[in-house]
Amino acid sequence: MARQDDQRRDIVALPKAHLHLHFTGSMSLATLHQLARARHMELPDKLAGGAPLDLPYDQRGWNKFQRLYDVARAAVRGESALRTVVDRAAAEDAAEGSRRLELQVDPTSYASSVGGIEEALDIICDEARAASRRHGVQVGIIVAASRVRHPLDARTLARFAARRAGHGAGEVCAFGLNSNERDGHTPEWEVAFRIARRAGLPGVPHGGELLGPDHLEQVVRHLEPARIGHGVRAVEDPALLDSMVARGIAFEVCPASNVQLGVYREVDDVPLLTLLAHGATVALGADDPLLFRSRLADQYRAAREVHFLDDVRLAGLARDSIDASFASDEDKRRWKRDVDDWLAST
């Protein structure tokens, strides 16, 4: 039951920033079908419809997710497909009240179909600028290295990202590290993150979802993140959590991902309230709606319906997401005034 002081304002109308959304995973099922048809590609039944990761708790896990993600990524080939993914991500986020979207991509995954890594990144950045104008949501790009590739590749990506650094639409706003936390040796990516920071690109690596606080501490120490992708398992070490909060590291919390990957059994097990109780800056994210079948507004609905946050606290989460974004200070102030207006509405 919702709290009595929850006025049940429209979640979609709440101005917010979306800071954890992956490129291929951002697609709707309809977009995936469109791109697959263009390639005469047959999708497996598990991916083509229904809930592909709707499995018993003890059968969930990363490998099932990664296999399906790889199939979906194979449908994204060529300039038109890259532009379609960016445009649809912007349109769908705008429809959910996003003022700022920071879309995360490893351009290496799409390079072969457009002539190279830089060509892929240029197409994505150009479309992000155009889609921002069309849909009224500011789309920044996060360039992310992958743990399944060599750390030297990450240094190359960091240099490509550095040439396109900025706060505005279509500019690269941060540098990340994604894929299975169990892969690779985290300190080996330290140099790539240093290259990015020197160019003014904050670090936003994944950590603290599949692995616990011991690995999360390595991510914090070696990669010096401004935000952490997930980070929920910091609650298992309150001293680490408090130190991250003290350093101003924001948490990109993606409840649907945590449940679908088997980190937690149910959404109410996701430690959102614990993070907030420790003073953490939390930005809710959808991660990979294509596979998790849950978009950004759904995460806010879960915060209301499952964690019983009233509208005042939901507005606080929206402000946190805006503050944790890498938009300009002027844009942040404007969007937070929009949040105040939402809260003042009846």
Active-site positions read 209
- Residues 56 and 194: their CA atoms lie apart, in Å, by 41
**Host H or E run for residue 52:** none
Structure tokens at 295: 């978009």
Is the distance from CB of 14 to CB of 318 less than 8 angstroms? yes
Is the distance from CB of 90 to CB of 131 less than 8 angstroms? yes
* Extended beta strands in 106-233, E state: 138-146, 172-178, 206-207, 227-230
Structure tokens at 155: 């240094």
Structure tokens at 92: 């769908």
Is the distance from CB of 296 to CB of 303 less than 8 angstroms? no
Residue 235 Cα to chain centre, angstroms: 20
- Residues 134 and 77: their CA atoms lie apart, in Å, by 23
> How far from each other are the two terminal CA atoms of the chain, in whole angstroms?
20
In 3-state terms, what secondary structure has residue 251? strand
Is the distance from CB of 205 to CB of 227 less than 8 angstroms? no
Phi-psi region of 327 (alpha: psi -120 to 50; beta: other; left: phi over 0): beta
- Residues 338 and 284: their CA atoms lie apart, in Å, by 18
